Structure 1
Amino acid sequence: MADGTRAIFSALDNAKTQVYHFKAIVIAGMGFFTDAYDLFCITAVTKLLGRLYYYDPSLSKPGALPDNVNNAITGVALCGTLAGQLFFGWLGDKLGRKKVYGITLITMVGCALMSGFSFGSTAQSVMTSLCFFRFWLGFGIGGDYPLSAVIMSEYANQKTRGGFIAAVFAMQGIGILVAGAVAMFVSKSFLVAYPAPDFLTDRVLSTQPQGDFVWRIVLMFGAVPAVLTYYWRMKMPETARFTALVEGDHKKAAADMAKVLEKDIHVHDSKPPISGKSNNSYGLFSREFMKRHGLHLVGTSTTWFLLDIAFYSLQLTQKDVYPAIGLLPKAATLNAIEEVYRISRSMFLVALFATVPGYWFTVFLIDKIGRSVIQLGGFLLMSIFMAIVGFRYGDLRGEKTNCDVNSTKEFCGGNTKLFAILYGLTFFFANFGPNSTTFIVPAELFPARFRSTCHGISAAAGKAGAIIGAFVVQSYTLHTDSDGIRRAIIGLSVVNLTGFFFTFLVPETKGRSLEEISGEDKSFNAEIVPNVEMV
């Protein structure tokens, strides 16, 4: 590596933590806040959509989404996210991180608003419109994964890099929390303003027309944080590592670094400006790439894939799990907007006490105990807790066979508190575990010119797992008895255990510079040798 280039990166790696680092965390993190909000707010309103658009008066029971529609609404954004991760990940290495960053945000803002404006004269046309806009919303969200991770990794110093990237990703937990809070606030406001009928049957079967405003407001709110951060994203400089290692412009890299470190940096070239790209110019998926990084990419992709099968199966089926464990009354006793309020309140509580703390445990401990330990421990404990729930499913729920013969309850005698604790611990160790580390490590392992692309590939593999969770696992749990659900949970436990073993393909990155991890410190020979002076 050229001495000047080495000096630039050394200054970044050894820089003291300062205001700009925290500013970058907030700017990049608000994208993830928006991502999580947009992806998971749909859980709070899915059942309301069924009551609004698929109510059949002749059946004398609340309406419900057909299975194919339910799967499409919850899964189509994941399909868009997968496509966006691959496309924007590749584009981020071609055009630069900053240029692509604004495109993803505009896409997210526009499609979040249009999701709320989904139009049509029939239920089918409204759902089709909603799925169309949620696909493109997911496409924009997908771009935020590789770009936010790579930007933060390339801005951060060596000592606290893992914590900084984890803090960006931790905003996902805040987004899930706020998704529950917003849905809870909006639905409660409408309940107060438009009370449901007093008579039980009327209250359950009636769906106030105001319910149509509830789900639209909840979905459209996702545009607000994205709009608020657009200006600051456009003010962020390009990362010095991309500018120096990919574009070969050392003067601009030094100038960009000066903005980050708040120091004057002067570069004097010993030659006229010419291409400073690496002589180590092997291509993506070339034999040399596969020799150096092939197993790394397999490791980051498979672990993210396996994690997301379990993680998204849990997230997207919350609306069905809550009634089963006693956190939510059965739909047959609730008005449509009341049901939104109860589901969103349960989402909020699980996020507050299980999901969010897991993310922040990672932030504070990842640079102390390392990525591998957190990921291995998370996968293993998730597997154990899900195995307990699976093997003791009937006992924990207290199925009717255990009840008094005169009992009219569907479930009784079970330990729903223990069920809720085990369910919450699974979320906690997902986030203080592989859900965080699978995002962090791909932003550190690969060379700068492939970093965004490889992160996008790894993230897309994760979304492929999430799609399996949305379309396969969710469908299976909707159409099976308790024994089938028990088998599904045990199967997810095995998936987590498999992720535990694939983690050994991923090396530890704690305490090393990005160039040391990727091998660029040994193989990069720039044609320009600039002199760097820091004031």
Structure 2
Amino acid sequence: MRWEEESYHRKDDQGNLVTLEEYEREQRAGVSGMSRVMTRGDLKLYAICGVGFFLDSYDLFIINLVTPIWTYEYWGGLQKKKNPTYPLLLRGAVNAAANIGNIIGQLSFGFLGDGFGRKFVYGKEMIIMIIGVILVISLPNHLKGPTRNKFWYLFGMRLLMGIGIGGDYPMSAAIVAERSSLRNRGRMLGWIFSNQGWGTLAGSIVTLILLGIFSKSLKAGHYNQLDAVWRLQIGLALVPAFATLYFRLTMPESKKFMQSGELSTFKPPSLSSLDSEESYSKETKMEAKELGGLSGDGMTGRHASIVEAHVAQPTSSDKMRGAIAYFSEWRHMKTLIGTASTWFLVDVAFYGVNLNQSVLLTAIGFSKGKTEYDTLLKNAYGNLIIAAAGYVPGYFLTIYFIEILGRRWIQIQGFLVTGLMFAIIAGDYAHLGTAGKFVCFTIAQLFFNFGPNATTFIVPGEIFPSRVRGFAHGVSAATGKVGAILSGVLFNYLSGPTKIGIANTLWIFFACSILGAIMTFIFVPESKGVDADVIDFQECQEAIRLKSGR
């Protein structure tokens, strides 16, 4: 290693910049280079933020396993009807309710997080989620009127729960990115997001355990016990939620966010607040030379930032104007269009499959059973196998390769492989056997997560500076959820035998995957090794230099 001239960075043999603070910390821990493992602080961050994504996934996708139970309990299964009549559009609306809430939560918490700070809002989203879960499992079976009234109640409460889940996306992404080193940032974001896989896997395991506990009653035909099964399925998410809540509410503000936010009031065209252009120019050059940029948990601490020296603490309105000014430049807006559009396209396919995986397993013949209990059991096994063989491993492939291959390459190849799997199933749907379709769905899940489902979360957490990161991540995630809602509602409608059918619906997913690869190639830059706060700071410096004529 060698010292970079006039900076507080080291550069390793691979050309990665490492702050002096990071280097000294690694030396104390006895690790260096790419062999760096999680520090104690990383593990604490992983636990606090990771549990949130575990719960997000569990609460979002448990609906896939609860829907068949609701069909049996409320829509004719208990009356021994051969074809329970859970209306398709109502089912789609209830399935999509949490994603509708996600949009509200992602936009509002992303905006509030940038305007008022991470500390001000973090933990509040967990409280909203907890209240929503409690109200869902408190569904009053004595509710008067037709059965659909109960499901509109569920729709409203799942929407509330979704607001809390949505708020977790921009806040956890921003907090993890701002507290991670440049070399380890993508891997840490990957670790945090991988908890989605564990949440989905846990949902299948919990369902199998509960069906086993109630197996004697269910096999005997006492399907009223299903009421206890689904309430426990959803309600068990409250245990880790309460365990994490205190630590979220007491997490301190990150230095990097506070220092980046100051740039929102740092307006180069106006020099009236300075003693003189001459003194300003000298100080700016001196401090910029000594500063060397931002990294890790904020600017290097050897010298006060030029922003702290010359500008008052920004207000929320200042930050809003700063965000508008930032995205008024086409290069920044182009990146936002790229992160938002690719998230939209992947979510159309990803949620179309995952919110309706039980429907797909039944359609391909995997979940057929002699009794309702057998069908529920096979459905849970199918979801478990897909999660264990495809869903979870995909995240770990991303974690391992993300700092080697980069985000952009992983996203493009993930889109292309998932598109290929949908094309295989759709192109030979009438002749491809149950095993073949099952394998293709499993491979698609693998490359969703070793691909765009993970990277569309990671990239907007890295490519935008801290002062607009919450808003940009929230907009990108909310745009993705629009795709998830469209898919969740329309899948049940379009895939019916009287409409275009499942095969043609999968062709839509194929088209979204191919378009996603194209949009990534055109609009999404590589964020590996990029410190957006350094770039933002340097752009501000350059604007001041040009204005002052120095």
Structure 1 counterpart of 2:467: 449
Structure 2 counterpart of 1:532: none
Of 453, 460, 485, the match for 2:502: 485
Check 1:213–1:191 CA distance in 2 against 1; reply closer, same or farther (3 A cut). same
Structure 2 counterpart of 1:66: 87
Report SS of the residue matched to 1:351: helix
1:290-439 equivalences under 5 Å are: 290-330=329-369, 333-335=370-372, 337-396=373-432, 415-439=433-457
State how far apart, in whole Å, the 2-side matches of 1:459 and 1:236 are. Answer: 23
* Aligned residue type for 1:114: L
Unaligned runs of 5+ residues in structure 1 are 198-202, 250-256, 397-414, 528-535
Structure 2 counterpart of 1:466: 484
Structure 2 counterpart of 1:236: 251
Unaligned runs of 5+ residues in structure 2 are 1-5, 11-17, 27-37, 266-293, 545-550
Contact 1:309 1:468 in 2 (8 A): yes
Structure 2 counterpart of 1:188: 212
Structure 1 counterpart of 2:533: 515
Post-superposition shift, 1:390? 0.8
* Aligned residue type for 2:348: I
* Aligned residue type for 1:420: F
State how far apart, in whole Å, the 2-side matches of 1:45 and 1:98 are. Answer: 35
State how far apart, in whole Å, the 2-side matches of 1:22 and 1:340 are. Answer: 37
Structure 2 counterpart of 1:226: 241
Structure 1 counterpart of 2:3: none
State how far apart, in whole Å, the 2-side matches of 1:338 and 1:450 are. Answer: 51
Post-superposition CA distance 1:224-274 (Å, at most 9, x none): 21111112223422111112121589xxxxxxx99979xx97877998895
Contact 2:254 2:297 in 1 (8 A): no
1:93-242 equivalences under 5 Å are: 93-119=114-140, 120-122=142-144, 123-192=147-216, 194-197=217-220, 203=221, 208-242=223-257
Post-superposition CA distance 1:29-86 (Å, at most 9, x none): 1100000000000111112112211228888425331123211210111100111111
* Aligned residue type for 1:234: L
Check 1:6–1:455 CA distance in 2 against 1; reply closer, same or farther (3 A cut). farther
Post-superposition shift, 1:10? 4.3
Post-superposition shift, 1:385? 1.3
1:68-87 equivalences under 5 Å are: 68-87=89-108
Report SS of the residue matched to 1:327: coil
Report SS of the residue matched to 1:118: coil
* Aligned residue type for 1:348: L
Check 1:524–1:112 CA distance in 2 against 1; reply closer, same or farther (3 A cut). farther
Report SS of the residue matched to 1:275: coil
Post-superposition shift, 1:282? 6.0
* Aligned residue type for 1:196: K
Report SS of the residue matched to 1:394: coil
Contact 2:319 2:467 in 1 (8 A): no
* Aligned residue type for 1:459: A
Structure 1 counterpart of 2:44: 23
Post-superposition shift, 1:316? 1.4
Ranked by relative contact order (alpha carbons within 8 Å, sequence separation 6 or more), the top structure is 1
Check 1:260–1:291 CA distance in 2 against 1; reply closer, same or farther (3 A cut). closer
State how far apart, in whole Å, the 1-side matches of 2:68 and 2:120 are. Answer: 39
Report SS of the residue matched to 2:219: coil
State how far apart, in whole Å, the 2-side matches of 1:358 and 1:511 are. Answer: 22
Matched, 1:497 2:518: no
Of 296, 309, 312, the match for 1:275: 312
Question: Aligned pair count?
Answer: 485
Contact 2:133 2:234 in 1 (8 A): yes
State how far apart, in whole Å, the 1-side matches of 2:330 and 2:87 are. Answer: 48
State how far apart, in whole Å, the 2-side matches of 1:453 and 1:316 are. Answer: 27
Post-superposition CA distance 1:8-29 (Å, at most 9, x none): x945776645210122122111
Check 1:110–1:281 CA distance in 2 against 1; reply closer, same or farther (3 A cut). closer
Contact 1:20 1:260 in 2 (8 A): no
TM-score (structure 2 length as normaliser): 0.81
Post-superposition CA distance 1:96-126 (Å, at most 9, x none): 1122111001111121122111124242332
Percent identical among aligned pairs is: 31
Post-superposition shift, 1:373? 0.5
State how far apart, in whole Å, the 1-side matches of 2:79 and 2:378 are. Answer: 26
Check 1:394–1:277 CA distance in 2 against 1; reply closer, same or farther (3 A cut). same
State how far apart, in whole Å, the 1-side matches of 2:134 and 2:423 are. Answer: 41
Q: What RMSD in Å do the two structures reach over aligned CA positions? A: 3.3
State how far apart, in whole Å, the 2-side matches of 1:308 and 1:265 are. Answer: 41
Report SS of the residue matched to 2:430: helix
State how far apart, in whole Å, the 1-side matches of 2:320 and 2:232 are. Answer: 50
Give the stretch that moved more between structures: 179-188 or 15-24. Answer: 15-24
Check 1:288–1:348 CA distance in 2 against 1; reply closer, same or farther (3 A cut). closer
State how far apart, in whole Å, the 2-side matches of 1:441 and 1:215 are. Answer: 36
Post-superposition shift, 1:4? 11
State how far apart, in whole Å, the 1-side matches of 2:68 and 2:541 are. Answer: 55
Post-superposition shift, 1:280? 11
Check 1:56–1:175 CA distance in 2 against 1; reply closer, same or farther (3 A cut). closer
Check 1:164–1:524 CA distance in 2 against 1; reply closer, same or farther (3 A cut). farther
Post-superposition shift, 1:277? 5.6
State how far apart, in whole Å, the 2-side matches of 1:110 and 1:311 are. Answer: 27
